[in-house]
Structure 1
Amino acid sequence: MKKRFSFFPGKMTVSFRKGPSGHLRQDPSEVAMELKRRPSPTFPAQSQEVVKANALAAIIQRGGDRTDKQEVMGEYVLQFGKYKGQTYRWLLENDIGYTIYLLNKVEQEESEGTFTPEGHSKESLLSFLDYAGTFKEIKDLQEYLKSRVPAEPVRSEGDNVVGFGVRAKDTWQKIWDTRADGYAAFILSARCVKNSKMYLLQQYLLKQQHTQKSQRPETPSPVADTLMMEEDEELEQEMLKLSPSKYAGPSDSVSSQAPVSSRTGSPRRSQMDYVLNPACVFVWPRSGLF
């Protein structure tokens, strides 16, 4: 007895968006982002009976397998949210992150006893979650996200771990302390996606760089030092020009020529004596040096 094969030229399967490592991408596609920016559809929600009938008609029209429940449900139209009017298959292909959010939200509300499965919108929501649960990729992703252990709180910002690249296990502080190797400069010059691990490390390095510049001591002005040195040199040159022979007679010293004070009876010193005699206090003469 020969085995019969069924051929469905219009059969369609979900084409998941995946990253370079093969994991499902959770970010919305460009088409999904455009729909999110638009106002939410306002047409009334349809019952699941109408939705199913329309899906079967679409399967027959394109030559799909109407006996394949997963394929039929892929043609169901969403009756809730920003993506209202799109098919179940479209949502899995364009926004896995939103799918995971819905799964976790309903589970939380059911555990708290706050979920109310009433109305066509809620019927459509539960129907979509049943459809998403038939895919192994969705189940594996949800279990993986639940199994992740939250990172331990750090004592300081510098204790955060890089978490990517060849220095994934190093702390932010170590990256800064060893910046002479050029890795910190590479991070500072990179174009990063906002709130990514590289972006957060880049912001930390920028703060450290700013703190270092603000703590650097100010260097004294070279102009002020130059002017002070020039004044000292001029004073020294003028002092070297002074000689006793310029102010004293050819045979008498300055002290013998000094007049006698009427009060004390001792020789009265002139103002120039204080300049020429090293034992006297240094006083500039009132009439200047010349």
Structure 2
Amino acid sequence: MTQARPSDDAAGSFSPQRAMLMRVAYRMLGSVADAEDVVQEAFIRWHATDRSAVREPGAFLRRTVTRLCLDQLKSARHRRETYIGPWLPEPVMEEDVQEDVTLPLMLALERLSPLERAAFLLHDVFGLDFDEVAQTIQRDEAACRQLAVRARAHVREARPRFEIDRQTGKEIAEAFFAASRSGDMTALGAMLAAGVSVHSDGGGKRPAALEPIIGFEAVMKVHESLVAVFKDGGSKLVRAGLINGLPGFISLEADGQIQTTTLDIEDGRVTAIYIVRNPEKLRHLN
């Protein structure tokens, strides 16, 4: 690469692209910290590039970030295979932008190959045409179309079928927190679907179920067992809102650390509860 002229403002031209690049990287990797590292590496490469020869900085940087993510996913897949308990993406609360990839969809993306994931996200989520997708992942257009088709088949069921606006989502999250923490099992039970499940990610660093808890009765028993802890002031609501596009809340727990709880809802009932307790995945929320 040709060394950029000193007079060029690399930071100034990179800054408007940063939010978009973070969205791409986070959705590819499921990790805020890894996404930040990738975006920082993209900036270093941008600084060393002859920027006067780049006609579309956004497309150039998007390609750079996607390729860096593809490299990162090779090691990430191994880490997740040896992860203790269920693996959940790092929770993100986005205030100004409607979430386009919900938590269940991100979990479905985990089952895709890195190239399928890239083709699906770039085309179906970020709206790029297949010509740019092909340039980005260095495959021909026909191959990219096939990658996207296969990806859609895998994630179809994870697509959100019930949209919930921010205010309604916040009210549902607050109601769930109040019922679960006060020990009002009647109110809590009225919110849960028959096949409700709980997925708790402690990463081996905080207590959490090593397997998903499935079914109304099992989920109710777990909450009944926690009533005594909660009644002693062991859980305080910090903030409610949308987390990864779903209703949820951040709470301060008895051990002095925060956790997030996210609710997947269908037909007015909670069908899945996702709890992130791993402190390494919550640093950005502190």
TM-score by length of 2: 0.28
Q: Which has the larger radius of gyration?
A: 1
Relative contact order (C-alpha < 8 Å, sep 6+): which is higher? 2
Determine which structure has the larger strand proportion and give its number.
2
TM-score by length of 1: 0.28
